[in-house]
Structure 1
Amino acid sequence: MRLALWAFISIAFAATSTGCATLAAADSNALWRIVDGQCVMSMQSSGTPGFCTRVDLQGRYAILKDINGTSQYLLIPTDRVSGIESPQILDKDAPPYWSDAWEARTYVEKAVKQPLRDEQLGLEINSTYRRSQSQLHIHIDCMRNDVIDALARHHSDTPGKWRWEVIDGNRYRIMRVTSLAAADDPFRVVARGLPKDAVMASQTILVTGAGPSAASDGWLIVNSSLDLDNGSGSAEPLMDHACRLARKS
């Protein structure tokens, strides 16, 4: 029974990788089954997170190690939330998923055995059409060195203003913010700035530090869309799941 559970979890973890050839055949409810059916139940019954790294029942989220990469973790709501297209993420009482994901950086740093500068850490969510799972999950991992360099020019952007950038041939709009909560929550920032014919389901969002210290430099919200010419439905390729920057430090 335990071997069968491990096999199920391995398949589920693999399903979170957008580059995996098995995505089409993946169980789209795998992450939800792990979090709700195993991690939450374990936390409620024994006070331990089970196969998750952390379960915060009050905060309504779990942290799960992804099988893809050495340092990639996922923040997953313990509520049933389908993804970026869900109106629940814009509710006035929605949990601060991005702030919680940013705080979960400690697990990435433990995995790479060193602290990361804030511009070296990335959080990302894929569009509805570039994911395999029907439960919202935010990827937490290292950024690519060349993407850090490309975004450095936005270090001193006026907060609250969109700027455009082409990275890897895809167009992204970038905004510097001074918080990840309340009005600056990335879901809210992207949603209120969408053209009338655009929808949240087509959006991808990446968040990283605007400089070495987000406390003073702020954060960058990086957004693209399948509705956009030369846009993208996944900003995950801007991250580095091998965390090569840690090996160079």
Structure 2
Amino acid sequence: MNAIGKANDMPRRQFVALSGALGAGALLAGAAGSASAAACPPPGGGAAPCPCPTEPNPPGGGQNACPPSHMQGLCGSPTDTDPLWQDVQYCTQGIVPPSGQRPNCLKTTANYVVLHGRPETTHNYLLVPSCRITGIECPFLVTSNVANYWHEAWENARSGGDVPVQYPNIGLGINSQSARRLNQLHIHMAGVRDSTQRRLQDLEANGRVAPQPALWGDAHYQAAVTGADGSGDRTYRILRLDTLTQNLFELLNVHVVRRFGLDMAGQTLIVVPKLPATGPTRTFYVLNSDSSLHDGTNTCDHLLVYA
């Protein structure tokens, strides 16, 4: 799972200014030095690196644009040595990590790779962008040019997906900057307990789940959910969405972070698909928390079940 780690820090005002400017896509003009978003067949053995292009293709062509080169100080450089980023480079380009340990590339696409989480179980996977993106604090994530990693995670993790999470209830999550150990963006695809699913449905039935993003941060839609790790109750802001087609990072930035003057780097996000008694649905509970809330948390690890 995750431990404490550090990446590039950025003041809140700087993030807000950049995220606002990036909304129009103006900063993407300098994308020439960005990390490759190309995908290659998973390499095997000591095969030579395949010839991946070094420039991202325009969005809409099956590949997402990557953060432009002048944002490397905020989102990471392709030459960084983060172990998870090295695993991505092995899966997409055949570059063997300096450690010599080759990861098991469960799925490799133009936008992301899927890897085992730790501990390695049938309900603990990671979806990791093929772009160099350190984590939730990267302002490129709130632009319209970024791939919808949350939707891709759900499509892989759901029953019938390419890398299904074998657990009665599924949860997706991302940690804050301070609560993670590896500094390459990764969405956990894991399980959640039945009690978590029931709690969220009870809250919705009692009008305690925000029906639209603009209300997400309201106090009425903040509620305690008991952790699966025995850590007790934690407070989350809870939103209901009918699809995952929207950019969850942008929704969080606009309706919570900027609204309350918070740091994007300090946020955690958890997605729990609603599972009614009649069968799966396309409704999703989106939970957010941080240390500014009473009994808040900046990690998704309290709710997700990995082991």
What TM-score range do you get, normalising by the shorter chain?
0.7 to 0.9
Residues 1:190 and 2:252 aligned together: yes
Deviation at 1:159, TM superposition (A): 2.5
Question: Counterpart in 1 of 2:105?
Answer: 52
Structure having the higher strand fraction is: 1
Question: Counterpart in 2 of 1:222?
Answer: 287
Percent pairwise identity: 28
Deviations 1:197-233 (A, max 9, x none): 2011110000011234232xx1000110123232101
Residues 1:18 and 2:28 aligned together: no
Question: Counterpart in 2 of 1:176?
Answer: 240
- Rate the CA distance shift 1:124–1:28 in 2: closer, same or farther, 3 A: farther
Residues 1:164 and 2:222 aligned together: yes
Q: Which secondary structure state, in structure 1, belongs to the residue aligned with residue 235 of structure 2?
A: strand
Corresponding residue to 1:136 among 157, 182, 185: 185
C-alpha separation between the residues in 2 aligned to 1:204 and 1:178?
Answer: 20
Matches within 5 A, 1:35-114: 35-36=88-89, 38-42=90-94, 51-57=104-110, 60-70=111-121, 71-105=123-157, 106=161, 109=164, 112=166
Uncovered stretches (5+) of structure 2, i.e. residues with no partner: 7-79, 96-101, 226-231
- Rate the CA distance shift 1:63–1:146 in 2: closer, same or farther, 3 A: same
C-alpha separation between the residues in 2 aligned to 1:201 and 1:42?
Answer: 31
- Rate the CA distance shift 1:50–1:233 in 2: closer, same or farther, 3 A: closer
C-alpha separation between the residues in 2 aligned to 1:201 and 1:210?
Answer: 27
Deviation at 1:141, TM superposition (A): 0.9
- Rate the CA distance shift 1:74–1:82 in 2: closer, same or farther, 3 A: same
Deviation at 1:107, TM superposition (A): 5.2
Residue 31 of structure 1 aligns to which amino acid in structure 2? L
- Rate the CA distance shift 1:24–1:138 in 2: closer, same or farther, 3 A: closer
- Rate the CA distance shift 1:24–1:207 in 2: closer, same or farther, 3 A: closer
Corresponding residue to 2:268 among 204, 207, 211: 204
- Rate the CA distance shift 1:175–1:145 in 2: closer, same or farther, 3 A: same
Question: Counterpart in 2 of 1:10?
Answer: none
Residue 61 of structure 1 aligns to which amino acid in structure 2? Y
Between structure 1 and structure 2, the one with the greater Rg is: 2
Residue 166 of structure 1 aligns to which amino acid in structure 2? A
- Rate the CA distance shift 1:196–1:24 in 2: closer, same or farther, 3 A: closer
Question: Counterpart in 2 of 1:247?
Answer: none
Q: Which secondary structure state, in structure 1, belongs to the residue aligned with residue 237 of structure 2?
A: strand
TM (norm. structure 2) is: 0.61
- Rate the CA distance shift 1:158–1:24 in 2: closer, same or farther, 3 A: closer
Q: Which secondary structure state, in structure 2, belongs to the residue aligned with residue 101 of structure 1?
A: helix
Question: Counterpart in 2 of 1:14?
Answer: none
- Rate the CA distance shift 1:92–1:24 in 2: closer, same or farther, 3 A: closer
The 8 Å contact of residues 5 and 177 in structure 2, kept in 1 or not, is answered as: no
C-alpha separation between the residues in 2 aligned to 1:240 and 1:189?
Answer: 25
Residue 269 of structure 2 aligns to which amino acid in structure 1? I
- Rate the CA distance shift 1:238–1:158 in 2: closer, same or farther, 3 A: closer
Residue 202 of structure 1 aligns to which amino acid in structure 2? G
Structure having the higher helix fraction is: 1
Question: Counterpart in 2 of 1:8?
Answer: none
- Rate the CA distance shift 1:137–1:237 in 2: closer, same or farther, 3 A: same
RMSD: 2.5
The 8 Å contact of residues 85 and 201 in structure 1, kept in 2 or not, is answered as: yes
Runs of 4+ aligned structure 1 residues displaced above 6 Å come to: none
Uncovered stretches (5+) of structure 1, i.e. residues with no partner: 1-16, 44-48, 243-249
